[in-house]
Amino acid sequence: MMEALLPALKRHPGPSVLVCSLLFRVAHGLLRKLPVPKVVKQDAFRSWKWKNLSVSMVHSLLTGTWALTCVVIWPETLSNIHSYHTSLSYLLICVSTGYFVQDAGDIILTGHARGSWEFLLHHALVIWCFLYALYTQLYIAGAVIALFVEVNSVTLHLRLMLKLADAQSSPIYHINKFVNLFTYIMFRLSTQFYLTWYIIHNYSWLDHGGCFLVTMMVMNIMIVIYFYRLLRADFFPRRKAYVGQNGTHNNNSKKFLSD
Specify which residues 249 forms β-bridges with: 243
Within 10 A of 1 (CB to CB), how many other CB atoms are there? 6
Q: Does 93 reside within a domain?
A: yes
Q: What is the mean pLDDT of residues 1-25?
A: 84
Within 10 A of 143 (CB to CB), how many other CB atoms are there? 25
Q: Please check whether residue 191 is in contact with residue 202, taking contact to mean a CB–CB distance below 8 angstroms.
A: no
Q: What is the mean pLDDT of residues 189-203?
A: 95
Alpha-carbon gap, residue 96 to 108, rounded angstroms: 19
pLDDT of 89 above 70: yes
Q: What pLDDT, in 10s, does the model give residues 124-181? A: 999 999 999 999 999 999 999 999 999 999 999 999 999 999 999 999 999 999 999 9
Q: Does 135 reside within a domain?
A: yes
Q: Does 240 reside within a domain?
A: no
CA-based nearest residue to 112, from 49, 37, 184: 49
Alpha-carbon gap, residue 242 to 240, rounded angstroms: 6
Domain count, the chain: 1
Domain that holds residue 103: 2-235+248-258
**How many C-alpha atoms does 201 have within 13 Å on its Cβ side?**
10
Instruction: Label each residue of 32-46 as H, E or C.
Output: CCCCCCHHHHCCHHH
- What percentage of the chain reaches a pLDDT higher than 90? 84
pLDDT of 242 above 50: no
CA-based nearest residue to 63, from 9, 126, 112: 126
Q: Does 243 reside within a domain?
A: no
Q: What pLDDT, in 10s, does the model give residues 56-78? A: 999 999 999 999 999 999 999 99
pTM value is 0.90
**Average of per-residue pLDDT values in the chain:** 90
Within 10 A of 4 (CB to CB), how many other CB atoms are there? 8
- The size of the chain, in residues, is 259
